[in-house]
C-alpha cells in the first residue's frame, strides 16, 4: 500500500484492493469497518469525510488492522464488536462471534414465547439458556418481548464478564420491560437449582465434530474459541446432554428450542428416539434453506 495516500477515500480504495487478495468475500466492507473503528466514527461518515487525511497514529493503527485481517483474523475481533439483531455487542477472542444464522433461532423462540404468552397472560415466562456467550440470544429476546425471566449459563468467567457488560449496555431492555436476565457460571446446567422449572430451554450449542474444525475457514478454525465450536467426536455431545437433562428442568408443557448444524437433522432424529420424554419435535429452515432450528415438546402425561 502506498502510505503517501493518506486521505480516507484513497486509503479505503487501497485497502479494498489489498484485502481482495486475502479475503475476497467482503473486502470493501471489511476496509470500511476497520477504518471507521480507527477513526471512531460511523461508517457513513467515512464518505462525508473522504478528503480528510489520516494522521500518523491513525495510519499505523489502520495498517496493523489490515495486516491482521489479511492473516484471517475476523473483523469483529479487531474492532471488538459485532452487530446482531440491531444490537451492537462486545466480543472478544474468548467468545464466539454471533452469526446471522442464529437470528433464525431467535425468530423461532420469539414465535413460541408469543404463543405461550397468549395462553398465560400476565405471567412471567421462565427461560434457561445453555452457553450464553455474548448474551446475544437473551438480549435479542428482550428487545422483542416483555415479562421474561432468563437464566443464562456459561462455563467461563471471562465470557460471563463480557455478557454482563453487554447486558449493562442494554439495561433499558430489562426492568422497564419487566425482563430479568441472570448470569450463572456453570458446567452445563450443573449449577442450576434442580427444583427450578422452566417454560423453555434454549441454546446454540457447539455442534462441529472435533475432527472437522480444522477444515473450517481460517477465520473460524484459527481464531474462534474451540470450546465454542467443538461438539465432540460426532458433534452431538451437547444434544445428548440436553435431551437427557432438559425434561427434568422443564414444566409439564415446556419446550426446548435449539440451533443445529445444517446436516444434523437425520442424526438428531435418530438420537431423539433414545429419549422417550420428548413427545414431538419439528425442524425449521433458515433463510438459506438449511435446517437450522429444532423445537422439541416435552411429553405431557
Our CA dihedral for 212, 108, 250, 146, rounded to 10 degrees, sits at 130
Residue pLDDT, tens place only, 82-117: 999 999 999 999 999 999 999 999 999 999 999 999
Q: Measured between alpha carbons, how far is 143 from 152 in angstroms, rounded to an integer? A: 16
pLDDT computed for residue 102 by the predictor: 94
| Cell numbers found for residue 103 | 437470528
Q: Does the pLDDT value for residue 209 go beyond 90? A: yes
Spatial contact of 94 and 156, defined as CB atoms under 8 Å apart: yes
Spatial contact of 188 and 130, defined as CB atoms under 8 Å apart: yes
Spatial contact of 85 and 110, defined as CB atoms under 8 Å apart: no
Closest CA to 76 of 57, 90, 66: 90
Which position has the grid cell 457447539? 206
Residue 67 three-state SS: helix
pLDDT computed for residue 22 by the predictor: 80
| Cell numbers found for residue 77 | 475481533
Residue pLDDT, tens place only, 61-81: 999 999 999 999 999 999 999
Closest CA to 108 of 265, 258, 279: 258
Which position has the grid cell 445444517? 262
Q: Measured between alpha carbons, how far is 28 from 23 in angstroms, rounded to an integer? A: 10
Spatial contact of 132 and 181, defined as CB atoms under 8 Å apart: no
Q: What is the CA radius of gyration of the chain?
A: 21
Q: Measured between alpha carbons, how far is 104 from 142 in angstroms, rounded to an integer? A: 16
Spatial contact of 296 and 281, defined as CB atoms under 8 Å apart: yes
Q: What is the mean pLDDT of residues 279-283?
A: 89
- E strand or H helix at 56: helix 56-70
Tally DSSP H helices, then E strands, for the chain. 11, 9
Positive or negative torsion for Cα 135, 230, 284, 113: negative
Q: Does the pLDDT value for residue 245 go beyond 80? A: yes
pLDDT computed for residue 196 by the predictor: 78
pTM: 0.92
Spatial contact of 163 and 130, defined as CB atoms under 8 Å apart: no
pLDDT computed for residue 2 by the predictor: 47
Spatial contact of 259 and 205, defined as CB atoms under 8 Å apart: yes
Amino acid at each position: 500500500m502506498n502510505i503517501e495516500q493518506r486521505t480516507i477515500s484513497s486509503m479505503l480504495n487501497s485497502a479494498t484492493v489489498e484485502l481482495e487478495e486475502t479475503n475476497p468475500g467482503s473486502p470493501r466492507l471489511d476496509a470500511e469497518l476497520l477504518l471507521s473503528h480507527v477513526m471512531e466514527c460511523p461508517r457513513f461518515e467515512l464518505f462525508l469525510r473522504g478528503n480528510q487525511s489520516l494522521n500518523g497514529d491513525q495510519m499505523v493503527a489502520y495498517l496493523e488492522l489490515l495486516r491482521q485481517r489479511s492473516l484471517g483474523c475476523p473483523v469483529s475481533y479487531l474492532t471488538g464488536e459485532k452487530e446482531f439483531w440491531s444490537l451492537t455487542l462486545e466480543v472478544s477472542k474468548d467468545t464466539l462471534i454471533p452469526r446471522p444464522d442464529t437470528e433464525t433461532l431467535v425468530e423461532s423462540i420469539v414465535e413460541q414465547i408469543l404463543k405461550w404468552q397468549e395462553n398465560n397472560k400476565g405471567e412471567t415466562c421462565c427461560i434457561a439458556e445453555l452457553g450464553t456467550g455474548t448474551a446475544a440470544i437473551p438480549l435479542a429476546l428482550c428487545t422483542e418481548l416483555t415479562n421474561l425471566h432468563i437464566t443464562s449459563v456459561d462455563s467461563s468467567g471471562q465470557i460471563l464478564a463480557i455478557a454482563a457488560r453487554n447486558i449493562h449496555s442494554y439495561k433499558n431492555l430489562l426492568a422497564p420491560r419487566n425482563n430479568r436476565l441472570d448470569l450463572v457460571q456453570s458446567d452445563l446446567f450443573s449449577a442450576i437449582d434442580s427444583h427450578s422449572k422452566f417454560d423453555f430451554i434454549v441454546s446454540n450449542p457447539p455442534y462441529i465434530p472435533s475432527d472437522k474444525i480444522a477444515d473450517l475457514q481460517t477465520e473460524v478454525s484459527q481464531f474462534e474459541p474451540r470450546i465454542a465450536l467443538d461438539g465432540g467426536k460426532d458433534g452431538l455431545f451437547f444434544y445428548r446432554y440436553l435431551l437427557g437433562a432438559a425434561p427434568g428442568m422443564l414444566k409439564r408443557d415446556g419446550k426446548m428450542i435449539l440451533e443445529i448444524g445444517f446436516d444434523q437433522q437425520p442424526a438428531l432424529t435418530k438420537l431423539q428416539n433414545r429419549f422417550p420424554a420428548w413427545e414431538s419435535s419439528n425442524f425449521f429452515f433458515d433463510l438459506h434453506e438449511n435446517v437450522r432450528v429444532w423445537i422439541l415438546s416435552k411429553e405431557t402425561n
